[in-house]
Amino acid sequence: MVDPAVVLFANDAFYLAFNHRDLAAMDEIWARQTPTACIHPGWHCLIDREEIMQSWSDILGNESAPDISCHGARVLFQGDVASVICFEQLEEGWLVATNNFIWEDGELRLCHHQASQCLNPPEMNRSDQPTIQ
């Protein structure tokens, strides 16, 4: 069993790359040997790795791209995929995101990212809210 802290470190690296507008770091994070999928909020699905990196180039190169902070990250081990479910806080609201990591060449790399609108974020402390770490 991988230490969940290792997975959360990889997840943090993703959000650091985002907030530092660091396209090279973002490229390092994404898997090279495993099929990849990336679904930005409201978008269709990008499958091709080059298309995914082009989308990150567009997003990180956009001066009006928001800063994101990640909250309540939780790690689920699903076979040899380490799945992180977390909440992304932006100025305009909350998203809920899945970031799935897989081992490649001794590193955890991102093979799946999907972020979608979250109308009832953790701050609301609803009674039907799952416990999050």
CB closer to its own copies out of 15 and 112: 112
In sequence order, what are the residues at sequence separation of 6 or more whose Cβ sits closer than 8 angstroms to the Cβ of residue 76?
82, 83, 84, 85
Tell me which residues in 61-100 interact with its own copies (CB under 8 A).
74, 76-81, 83, 85, 87, 96, 98, 100
Work out whether 19 is an interface residue with its own copies (CB under 8 A): no
Task: Please check whether residue 84 is in contact with residue 11, taking contact to mean a CB–CB distance below 8 angstroms.
Answer: yes
Least CB distance from residue 20 to its own copies, whole Å?
Answer: 26
For residues 52 and 30, the answer to whether their CB atoms sit within 8 Å is yes
Q: How many CA atoms lie within 13 A of 22 on its CB side?
A: 13
Binding residue (CB under 8 A) for its own copies from 4, 21, 25, 41:
41
User: Which residues lie closer than 8 Å to 34 by C-beta, 6 or more apart?
Assistant: 102, 104, 109, 111
Separation between Cα atoms, residue 11 and residue 78, nearest integer Å: 16
Among 12, 48, 67, 107, binds its own copies (CB under 8 A): 48
User: C-beta of 34: minimal distance to its own copies in Å?
Assistant: 5
Instruction: Summarize as ranges the residues that interact with its own copies (CB under 8 A).
Output: 34-37, 39, 41-48, 51, 74, 76-81, 83, 85, 87, 96, 98, 100, 102, 111-112, 114-122, 128-131
